[in-house]
Every structure is written in structure tokens, then in C-alpha cells.
Amino acid sequence: MQLSNIRHKKAIMNICIACSFLLIMLNFVTSAKLRDVMLNIGNMQLPITSLNGCIQVVLCLLCIILVLIDSKKGMIWSCVFLGISIFGSARTIFVSKSLMTAPGTFNAIIFLIAIALIAHQIKISNRMAVTDSVTGLLNRYGFDRDMRKRIWLNERGRVAFIHLEGFLAVNANLGRKYGDELLTIVANRIRTVLDGRGDAYKIEGAEYAVILPDRVNCDTIIANIIKSVEETITLNKDGVPSNCYLTAFAGVADFTDNSVDADTIMKRADIAMNYALKSGKNKISTFNDEMKESIESQLRIERLVKDSLRNNWFYLVYQPQYTMFDRRLRGFETLIRMNAPGGVKIPPSEFISIAELSDLIFDIDSFVLETAMREFREVCYSSGNTITLAVNISAKNIARPGFAEKLLEVVKDTGFPPECLEIEITEYSFAEEGNYTLENIRKLRDNQIMIALDDFGTGYTALEQLMKLPVNLVKIDKSLIDNLIRNEMNMDFVKSVIYMGHLMDAEVIAEGVEYENQVECLRELDCDFIQGFVWGKPMEYDEARELSNEVYDRS
């Protein structure tokens, strides 16, 4: 698809160039050979040379199109065409000793200046669009652009996808300013190692990419990058030096033909990097056949997710949540399920994790939000707006600028009572683009929507930051509940989480509760709510509605 777009742009550019040449020739003929010819229009006569102005305007329009397609080449062609036009008009003035074409010459000069300004502005905009504002390296868009160009030109080489472990801790403990400084130092070290032998890119978060041509020793360069990045970095916070230690992992993928696109190459390098990360042995891993099977499986699930969104194969179930001490229905957590033809069953944890690697997670979030709010609107009204509907939102989505506004539009369109909606996010949401996350959360809370924090205490955020998070509810993960009775240390940790949640002025819910002895223990630890098989399994909408109606009819 990307190569097709390049071909289309090139074809349009060639057509514009050919048309411009024809217009130049037509302008020359009308000015030099037919300048004394008169056109009869009704009772009026019009010199054929008066068409020159119309021809020149069309020529200028074609030049603008050329600049919009390719600012550099378009500007060169514009100088050629308008330069010829200006020269022709000036020559006519000199030969005829008449200033009849002087306005056209002036217009051509003005158009050329305007086109030069447009080209310059496009160049600046393009540079800003593909440049990371922190490190000065080209960003993901710049990487995609350069990879498309290399593939188009049949170049051969390798891509290294580099991930830094340890950055999130620096960002959380020292602050975003010093996290940015750390990323810049890493970028400079990568530049130094490359020394013009390849191109470096800042992809996102603490991730970089490097494109290396076949003619260089790729293995040595990548190994040197890893070594350089892992050398101690000292940051001075308020005059106090802080040593930072990063661990780098790299995944390498070849690009040897033009049958693959930039996204596929980056996915291969990403998969190879994850292999290196999980292995704990080799910090550099090269994409191979085993990984190829993995990416094929990933692509298969991606296609299934797309088909499920298009054909309504996704559906929702709802798991009830209860108050701890009087077992009163608090509300429901929304869970997504897939019912594909042929009995295909893929666990949500599997297709959600793959969807999070692409923009598909945004489509899934939108489906869940809109469907859940439309289904549960009447249930909430029937309960007197006292029931809570919890919906999970990906960290990637809550960190997007403008997410809160889009969600509030859905609330308005569906007529859902905002005070009944609870958005569940993970602690990881604050690790990337934390400022946007906080901004979205505050806007949602200002509009009565509640915020629940899942995976509480998993270590992505510093304790000081955790205590300031504007959340209404803290969720204790099932993995902590499973060993609650058998492991005293686990019980102490859960007790601490509940205590911290209450210090944050939030309520606490334990999920994945399966046994009554776990319920009794959590009651003693002052947990507020329970969610799990012990009191209620996930159920389809009709059953959830009946349960809600029964509860509120009795009350």
C-alpha cells in the first residue's frame, strides 16, 4: 500500500511536469507566433496574447501541486517553469517595446516567491513532523518514511530495534525533565557509535531504532551501541549527582527485498528484541524462522480481531462486584469475549495484548465503551443511578491527547449517566505520556466519571506519585489474592495495599476472590469490595440486568 502511494505520487508529478511543458510551449506560441491574432467573441475582439495570463495561472497551480507532492523537487521544477515564463515575458517586452506583458511578468515573480515560501514552510513542517522534540532524532514517522524509500530503491541492510530497561525508574524517581535528559544522552551516544555509518531514530518511550546498510559491519556496530548505552550515566538533580544504569536489548531484522513494508520489518525487529529481553542471556537477537511463526500467529490474530470488529463477533459479559460487609451489589465490570465462526476461542489476554501493539486497541476500547453504555443505560436509570459500570481502557488510549473529550461525547450520545461510569486503567498508564493521562483523568473526574486503578503497586510509579493519583478505586490483582491465605508475607502486602489505597482517599476492591476464607481474610483487612467467582461469575447482559433488577426491586 505504501509503495502504491509512492507510485501514485510519482505518476501525478510526471503528469504535472508534462502539462507544465505543454503550457510553456503554448505560451511561447501565443506570444511569439500568434501575438497579432485577434479572437472574435461576439462583437468584441480579444488579442490571443491575453490568454497568456490564464496559461500562467494554470502553470502556477501546477507548480504548487508539484511543491505539495515533493517540496524539494517541486521547487526545482517551479523555478525552471516560472523562470522560463518570466524570461519569455521579459523577452516579449524587449522585442515588442511594449509593456503589455509586464503585469504577467510581475505576477510570475510574485507566484515564484509565494511558491518558495510554501515550499520552505512545508519543509519546516515535514521536519517537525518526523523529528523527536526531545532528542532531535527522527521519530517513528521518519523511520517509516526512510524505510519506504530504501525498500523502493531496493536497498539492502538491517534494522536494530533497541529497548532500554531502567528508564521508567529514572523518569519516576527523578522526574520527566531528567528522564528527557537521559534519553538525549542515549541518543548522542548512539550517534557517536554510528559516526555516519547508519541512521538513528527515536521510536517511542525508551525505544530507539537504527538502520544500517549492508556495507557496514552491523553486528559490531550494534554490539558497540549496547555497550555504550549501558555505561553509567550521571544526572545532576539540584546539584546532587545521581548515577543511572540502563540495560539495553536489541532485536535485529534484515530487509533484503521490496516484498515487505516498514511495519513488517519493525514488527520483526520488535519480536526479536522481546526474545532477547525474555531470554535474559543474549542482549542481541536476530529475527529467525521460529520468530517468523510467532509473527504469523500475531498477524492471524490481528486479522481475526479486525474481522470480529467488522462482523460483530465480539460481545460483552459483566462480572458483579459486591460490598464486603453487607454483600450489596455495587456494580459490574465489563469484560470482552470473542465468538468467531467455527468455534474459534482466543483468550482476551491474548488478543488484547496483540491489539495493544497496533491501533486496533483503540477500536476495541471504542466498541466496549459504546456497547456497554448503550446496554446498561436503562439498568443504571432503574437503579436510581446507584449502580456502577466499570470499563477497562488501555494505557495507550488514556495517554492520548483528547481522549477525555471523545469519551464525554460517547457519554452524551448514548445518554449514559456519567456518575455511573468507572474507567479502569493500569498503573502503567502513568509511565508513558503521564501528563496527558493525568489531564484526561482530571477532565473525566470533573464530569463525575470515576477512575479505578488496576495493577496497583506493580512498581511502574514511585510511591510519592502513587499517593497523588486522582483515583476513586484501587484494585488488588488476582495474583495477590491467590496466595492470600497460604502466604503470610502475601497477606502483609495485601494489607499494605489496602492501607495505601485508603490513604489515597480511595476505596479498595479485591478481584479474583474464589473462596470464602479469602473473603473472611479480606474483611479483616478492611477491604471495601469483592469481585470473583466466590460471589458471582461473569454473565451476559440479560442475566446481569435481571440480577440488578432483583436487587433494586427488593430495596
Residue whose C-alpha is closest to residue 161's, from 52, 25, 270, 314: 270
Within this chain, do residues 388 and 326 fall inside the same structural domain, yes or no? yes
199-208 per-position pLDDT tens digit: 999 988 889 9
Asked, for residue 437, whether it belongs to a domain, the answer is yes
Return all residues near 409 (Cβ < 8 A) that are at least 6 apart: none
Q: Could you tell me the three cell numbers for 500?
A: 495505601
Name the CA dihedral angle for 413, 418, 423, 429, rounded to a multiple of 10 degrees.
80
Residue whose C-alpha is closest to residue 247's, from 310, 181, 330, 162: 162
Helix axes 102-129, 71-96, angle to 10 degrees: 170
Asked, for residue 37, whether it belongs to a domain, the answer is yes
Within this chain, do residues 379 and 350 fall inside the same structural domain, yes or no? yes
Q: Could you tell me the three cell numbers for 160?
A: 536494530
Return all residues near 416 (Cβ < 8 A) that are at least 6 apart: 373, 374, 376, 377, 380, 410
Number of domains in the chain: 3
Within this chain, do residues 145 and 268 fall inside the same structural domain, yes or no? yes
Within this chain, do residues 199 and 347 fall inside the same structural domain, yes or no? no
Asked, for residue 529, whether it belongs to a domain, the answer is no
The β-bridge partners of 340 are 344
Within this chain, do residues 283 and 302 fall inside the same structural domain, yes or no? no
- Selected residue with higher pLDDT from 278 and 517: 517
Within this chain, do residues 548 and 464 fall inside the same structural domain, yes or no? yes
Categorize the per-residue pLDDT at 454 as very low, low, confident or very high, splitting at 50, 70 and 90.
confident
Within this chain, do residues 121 and 239 fall inside the same structural domain, yes or no? no
Within this chain, do residues 104 and 163 fall inside the same structural domain, yes or no? no
Asked, for residue 489, whether it belongs to a domain, the answer is no
Within this chain, do residues 245 and 200 fall inside the same structural domain, yes or no? yes
Asked, for residue 446, whether it belongs to a domain, the answer is yes
Within this chain, do residues 419 and 465 fall inside the same structural domain, yes or no? yes
Q: CATH number, domain at 389?
A: 3.20.20.450
Q: CATH number, domain at 270?
A: 3.30.70.270
Q: Could you tell me the three cell numbers for 251?
A: 532485536
What is the model's pLDDT at position 229? Answer: 92
Sequence letter at residue 220: T
What is the model's pLDDT at position 43? Answer: 61
What is the model's pLDDT at position 2? Answer: 45
Within this chain, do residues 197 and 220 fall inside the same structural domain, yes or no? yes
Q: Is residue 351 within 8 Å of residue 304, measured between CB atoms?
A: yes
69-112 per-position pLDDT tens digit: 887 888 888 888 878 777 766 666 666 665 555 666 677 788 78
137-146 per-position pLDDT tens digit: 988 888 988 8
Q: Could you tell me the three cell numbers for 290?
A: 521460529
Among 129, 160, 177, where does a domain finish?
Answer: 129
**What is the pairing mode between strands 247-255 and 284-286?**
parallel
Q: What is the percentage of the chain residues whose pLDDT exceeds 70?
A: 85
Mean pLDDT over 444-457 rounds to 88
Asked, for residue 32, whether it belongs to a domain, the answer is yes
Among 69, 94, 129, where does a domain finish?
Answer: 129
Is the pTM higher than 0.75? The answer reads no
Q: Which long-range contacts (CB under 8 A, 24 or more apart) does 412-417 make?
A: 414/370, 414/373, 414/374, 414/377, 415/377, 416/373, 416/374, 416/376, 416/377, 416/380, 417/377, 417/380, 417/381, 417/385
Which range of 82-91, 277-286, 305-314 scores highest in mean pLDDT? It is 305-314
Among 287, 315, 348, where does a domain finish?
Answer: 287
Provide the domain limits for residue 169.
140-287
Asked, for residue 488, whether it belongs to a domain, the answer is no
Mean pLDDT over 421-434 rounds to 76
Asked, for residue 514, whether it belongs to a domain, the answer is no
Categorize the per-residue pLDDT at 1 as very low, low, confident or very high, splitting at 50, 70 and 90.
very low
Within this chain, do residues 177 and 110 fall inside the same structural domain, yes or no? no
